[in-house]
Amino acid sequence: MEITKKPAKPKGTLGILMPGMGAVATTFIAGVEAVRRGYAKPFGSLTQMGTIRLGKRTENRVPRIKDFIPLAELDDIVFGGWDIFEDSAFEAARKAGVLDPALLERVRPFLETVRPMKAVFDQTYVKRLSGTWVKKAKTWFDYAEQLKEDIIAFKEREHCDRLVMVWCASTEIFLKPTDVHRDLPSFEKALKARNAEIAPSMVYAYAALSLGIPFANGAPNLTVDIPALIELAREKQVPVAGKDFKTGQTLMKTILAPGLKARMLGLNGWYSTNILGNRDGEVLDDPESFKTKEESKLSVLEYILQPKLYPDLYQKFSHVVRINYYPPRGDNKEGWDNIDIFGWLGYPMQIKIDFLCRDSILAAPIVLDLALFMDLSQRLGMRGIQEWLSFYFKSPMHAPGLYPEHDLFIQLMKLKNTLRFIQGEELITHLGQEYYD
């Protein structure tokens, strides 16, 4: 890992830019403001609540992560973004219906100041949505230029010293990497030709990276996970991360599956189904957007369970994932899992999970942590894919030829060891022999 600068306390304002100001983004913005005012606590956020052990267990050095590593303070954050609807963050949060109206009312004056800029949007890529608050241009390249103008104006208006971008917009249709995405010259040529293999999310990512702004992708879209944009990130010395916030059912999968494997319990099948009724659910009701999500959700078990290494235990398991749009539920998703496992001598057992979760409540702290850690990476000169942030993603981006690490506990160890490494602290291996010498 290349770290070219020393960690120092950041000065000035950090602007967090979000394409997509829907349920997740507004729950995040309202939440940060509520925490700043002391109305609530930032549960679910590792940067705000987590600790890190340093040195030996006998040393009792366990600072909070935010005291150990120089991250931006919540008071130094401002928010901006784009959406295809003109609603302010207050109006969008009210419509999303995630947060209690009483809490929203208390942060209303602030939320009303956060207004989206006009989006780069094309319905080809998100079939179930159509909006009016959209830019007009001939080519993707022209759109990128307009986004850059937005970003520069935002930075000036809000007196930002640094910016990060986190994609919180709808899931786009499934796109495969092709020659267009192979390298930067091919990609830029396609931008100028408005090629159909370029999606709006790639245009946002291109604009951000061109201006040296880190980009994290909260949806499963291909977006920045293509050689051309990784090349641009390395060239401009900016970090990138993705894809698809790890919340809900997949979070549960990456907590449980490593446990089953650790005890050498076999798996015959894992059936997962969800009902949700928010706008995300409506978008995912379209088979092409669902396909993008499905790919992201399905890969997790294969990588954790390693059927090639454990053919007797995992070679033949059946894995099915369904998402059903059911409006009465709003953002309060219900996810059922039926897990058919087997143990000693092949005797079958079953596990049932019924997770009554709240999608945006689980996603909002991830947006915060990613924004703060991406800003840290940028200040340290850590360019390109930030694999140490896999902890937050369903489909972690990784170097070619590597397999992604999905096990939540390995991901957490990787993240914390990266923080220790940054601060020149000893890495923790959990060997522990020294206590018994």
Binding site for ligand NAD (CB under 6 A): 19-24, 82-85, 96, 119-121, 126, 129, 131, 168-171, 200, 218-219, 244-245, 247-248, 278-280, 283, 359-360, 362-363
Instruction: State the CB neighbour count (10 A cutoff) for residue 398.
Output: 14
Which residue(s) pair with 160 in the sheet?
13
Q: In the complex, what is the shortest distance from the CB of residue 166 to ligand NAD, in angstroms, rounded to a whole number?
A: 10
Q: In the complex, what is the shortest distance from the CB of residue 207 to ligand NAD, in angstroms, rounded to a whole number?
A: 12
Q: Cβ closer to ligand NAD: 76 or 334?
A: 334
Which residue(s) pair with 216 in the sheet?
166, 241
Which residue(s) pair with 351 in the sheet?
339
Q: Cβ closer to ligand NAD: 360 or 390?
A: 360
Cα Dmax for the chain:
71
Q: Cβ closer to ligand NAD: 204 or 270?
A: 204
Q: In the complex, what is the shortest distance from the CB of residue 153 to ligand NAD, in angstroms, rounded to a whole number?
A: 17
Q: Which tokens belong to 346?
A: 């092949």
Q: Cβ closer to ligand NAD: 310 or 326?
A: 326
Q: In the complex, what is the shortest distance from the CB of residue 331 to ligand NAD, in angstroms, rounded to a whole number?
A: 7
Specify the pairing of strand 334-342 against strand 348-356. antiparallel
Instruction: State the CB neighbour count (10 A cutoff) for residue 38.
Output: 7
Q: In the complex, what is the shortest distance from the CB of residue 283 to ligand NAD, in angstroms, rounded to a whole number?
A: 6
Q: Cβ closer to ligand NAD: 299 or 419?
A: 299
Q: In the complex, what is the shortest distance from the CB of residue 273 to ligand NAD, in angstroms, rounded to a whole number?
A: 16
> d(Cα 178, Cα 190) in Å, to the nearest integer?
11
> d(Cα 274, Cα 324) in Å, to the nearest integer?
6
Q: Cβ closer to ligand NAD: 84 or 301?
A: 84
Q: In the complex, what is the shortest distance from the CB of residue 375 to ligand NAD, in angstroms, rounded to a whole number?
A: 20
Q: In the complex, what is the shortest distance from the CB of residue 393 to ligand NAD, in angstroms, rounded to a whole number?
A: 9
Q: In the complex, what is the shortest distance from the CB of residue 16 to ligand NAD, in angstroms, rounded to a whole number?
A: 15
Q: Which tokens belong to 79?
A: 């928010």
Closest residue by beta carbon to ligand NAD: 22
Q: Cβ closer to ligand NAD: 294 or 387?
A: 294
> What is the length of the chain?
437
Q: Cβ closer to ligand NAD: 76 or 145?
A: 145
Contact 275, 283 (CB under 8 A): no
Q: Cβ closer to ligand NAD: 128 or 182?
A: 128
Q: Based on the number of CB atoms within 10 Å of its own CB, is 373 exposed (0-12), middle (13-18) or buried (19 or more)?
A: buried
